[in-house]
Amino acid sequence: MYPFCRMLAALCLALLLASCDGDESNRHDSDAASDTTTAAPASPGTVEPILLVGPSTVYIAHELNEAIHADGSDCRLEGWGERLWMYASNNDIASQIYNYAQPGANTQTFQLPPEDREGNEPLLYGPRRDHYWAKVVEKMEELGHGILLIQFGANGDNEQQFKNNIRKFVRMARENNFTPVLVTEIAKRRRKADGSHDPGRGREIEWMREIADETQARLLDLFQKSSRIYGGMTDAQWDEAFANCYSRWYTGDTPPKQDTHFEPKGAKKVASWVRDLACEDTDSTLCKELRGTPKAMRLASSRTIPEHDTPPMSWQNMPKGTESLAVVVDDHDANHFVHWAVTDIDPGRTSITAGETPEEARMLNNQLGGKSYIDPAYPDDHMYEIHLYALDMAKISEAHHMQGTQKVSIFDPEKTYNHLEFEKHFGNFIIDKASFFFEQQAP
């Protein structure tokens, strides 16, 4: 089971109290339209549910990844909407973010129930979600108030279809006491012949801006923001920050580029941009709901490790979706010599005592090939590193990539993984990490 459908982890997201300066040209008061019903203000302290609609850049879902990349890649992609919960101001808000985006949809096909989509899908990304506009309307009626984030590209729509449908979504949101917020598409990560950034989008960006002006709906110009940020990055930085999954498996001379979607780390980054854009108006309800910042995992240990014992450690702030924990202890001053590596730790744990190996855990090889703890015993002082990982899989043996339609395990039980190798091989399954450094004195 993947993070988007798991129960929320019991973590409290800290309030981010910094103010943000906005670009007035891109800011709209969603209650200013005179020809539509406006959303009534919520009572003080009331949580405003957030609904999202759009295509695969908003929601891709891990179940679809194997269908999308049955060509042998190990890409694990997410939409930015799948990480928006991380920026909620508190758990009550995080639990009321509802992602109705439909991979491959445009404004026309998003209104079709599944039985009517045959032959009318501009992009076929494997099995489709049973999410479409009527479901969104049902949810708005059920909730009675909230915010609707709307992001669509043309994707086969002509200008009249696109504008009419966005107008419809805005109008019906207001009729159901929801505040509509329009979000432009994110830029693509491409180059022109002269090497400059090619954002790769069409007139639909202007269409969305025009509808925002016409309806006086709030606009989050993600296209403008992403174009500016992408334009200052190299290809290698694009790959590292957002998605380089193709380059990890492709054996030809020129691996294809993932220039549109994001691996989980990229989805988290883009979700933070949406939060930043929302908070260009710090007084808006949307900003108040998204003013959180991910509460970092914290790892504590002892500066002096007991002789012959594994180091004691405790931790807190496990992120949502954690299915297991892993610990790697290696020597910073000895080329990351592995003293201890253990995975499959129960995510409900909050500590390991000195000398303890969790009974449910799986021991990996230490640097000498054994499955035990090696005492740090050197003739001079050394710096050691403890790394704690929150993983979105219950067992390390579940880590895999695709070869054709077959799952191929990434995990090698005979391999020794220092923390650098662990992150290289299992990075797509790591939700978050925390580290602790200590110096062991020579005897």
Token pair recorded at residue 144:
């009675």
CB neighbour list of residue 399: distance below 8 Å, 6 or more residues apart: 393, 409, 410, 411, 425, 426, 429
Q: What three-state secondary structure class fits 387?
A: strand
Whether 40 and 177 have beta carbons less than 8 Å apart is answered as yes
What is residue 44's DSSP assignment?
A: T
Q: How do residues 209-260 score in pLDDT, each as one tens digit?
A: 999 999 999 999 999 999 999 999 998 888 888 887 766 555 666 766 788 8
pLDDT at 365: 96
pLDDT at 215: 97
Q: What three-state secondary structure class fits 101?
A: coil
What is residue 347's DSSP assignment?
A: T
Here the contacts of 205-214 (C-beta below 8 Å, separation 24 or greater) are 207/154, 207/159, 207/162, 207/163, 207/166, 208/152, 208/166, 208/182, 208/183, 208/184, 209/184, 210/163, 211/163, 211/166, 211/167, 211/170, 211/182, 212/28, 212/182, 213/28, 214/167
At what angle are helices 159-175 and 133-143 packed, to 10 degrees?
A: 20
pLDDT at 95: 77
Pairing verdict, β 146-150 and 178-183: parallel
> Which residue segments constitute the domains of the chain, with CATH numbers given?
3-293 (3.40.50.1110), 298-440 (3.90.280.10)
Sheet holding 313-316, edge to edge: 298-301, 313-316, 351-352
CB atoms within 10 A of CB 412: 11
Q: One-letter amino acid identity for 39?
A: A
Q: How do residues 110-123 score in pLDDT, each as one tens digit?
A: 998 866 665 444 33
Q: Which residues of the chain have pLDDT under 70?
A: 1-45, 61-75, 91, 114-129, 246-253, 255-256, 292-296, 303-307, 378-380, 402-406, 440-443
pLDDT at 69: 47
pTM of the predicted protein model? 0.62
Quote the CA–CA distance of 323 and 190 in Å, as a whole number.
35
Q: What would the DSSP string read from start to end of 156-217?
A: T--HHHHHHHHHHHHHHHHHTTEEEEEEPPPPP-EE-TTS-EE----THHHHHHHHHHHHT-
CB neighbour list of residue 136: distance below 8 Å, 6 or more residues apart: 51, 53, 100, 148
pLDDT at 323: 93
Closest CA to 328 of 320, 315, 337, 316: 337
**Residue with token string 């002789």:** 307
Distance (Å) of CA 353 to CA 308, 313, 357 = 13, 6, 8
